[in-house]
Structure 1
């Protein structure tokens, strides 16, 4: 494979010094246990190879690692000030009517009370109504099922962010 076929952003990521690459990976996912194997796997010849490594790392996260990853995510409808990634990803809630935003705040609280962590969902491309409906539906999950749903959603978020890191936003996953 020639370097010309590697997306420019992926080539830049591959060439970063270790500390800068680790910092970039922590922008994608707050879990050190997730970032370390991705760092060790460089250089990646393709975006698909990077995705495969990310998926494997997400699957291998322990409960504590998953908690660390979730701690890096603000609630839906409340992106952290100065966090453009969360604001961009949650743009479906930005334009939502006030009543929907209030309902989402209540659902976030109910979810956190039931499961003990933030409601984590890949919000990219979803409307405020879709996000609300997802929260409502997932409140019916058992804690065990919800943990696996969170792992799946984290993997989706990580892929979206890795695509952005690699300069391949056109290859981001889409939601049904």
Structure 2
């Protein structure tokens, strides 16, 4: 070796989050999955098909399992969701309007309004959620059930992707009350 050269480091790399998920016991894997979408059927199906070669394969399997959820499974998942949160600096009138729109929505459909906020800038969150909840309140129950199922699938996909990319400290924690997106802000209500 020449002077000033260094030997390569042989320190072991920490396991990738996907590798850890693949290696986890079934109970641990299902627990993680239930934090992404509270459906025992969905979590069982996704966990049962491990190991996944990459995150895209896992997300595709999660999508497929979500498409198979019955109305009862969807109702159980919805019972663990909450209204999307607004940024803490959002004008309080937006909170009042959102609360009123959500109350009307919940009275009609019997469950919380869910929507994926992935890609929505924080400054546009209030208007986006309020417009969506008002628009979707006009749906008949069957149409809204289809939309809700798709939104839950998107939420699960986003949460699972965030969790297994290791993007944040403790990214696998259940979303805070009011957050229905992996990047939804904590509500200031």
TM-score of Structure 1 vs Structure 2, range by shorter chain: 0.7 to 0.9
The structure number with the bigger radius of gyration is 2
> Root-mean-square deviation (CA), in Å?
2.0
Partner of 2:23: 15
Pick the structure with more helix per residue.
1
What is the CA-CA distance between 1:76 and the residue it aligns to?
A: 2.5
How many Å separate the matches in 2 of 1:128 and 1:10?
A: 34
Count of aligned residue pairs for this structure pair:
152
Indicate conservation of the 8 Å contact 1:70/1:118, yes or no: yes
Structure 2 regions of 5+ residues with no counterpart? 1-14, 168-180, 184-189
Aligned counterparts, 1:16-165, within 5 A:
16-77=24-85, 92-126=86-120, 127-165=125-163
Q: Which has the higher contact order (CA 8 A, sep 6+)?
A: 2
Residue 125 of structure 1 and its aligned partner are, at CA, apart by 3.7
Asked if the contact 1:9–1:166 (Cα under 8 Å) also holds between the matched residues in 2, the reply is yes
TM-score (norm 2): 0.75
TM-score (norm. length: structure 1): 0.80
Residue in 1 that maps onto 2:173 = none
Question: Cα distance, 1:173 vs. partner?
Answer: 9.9
4+ runs deviating over 2 angstroms? 92-95, 123-126
**Which stretches in structure 1 are left out of the alignment for 5+ residues?**
1-6, 78-91
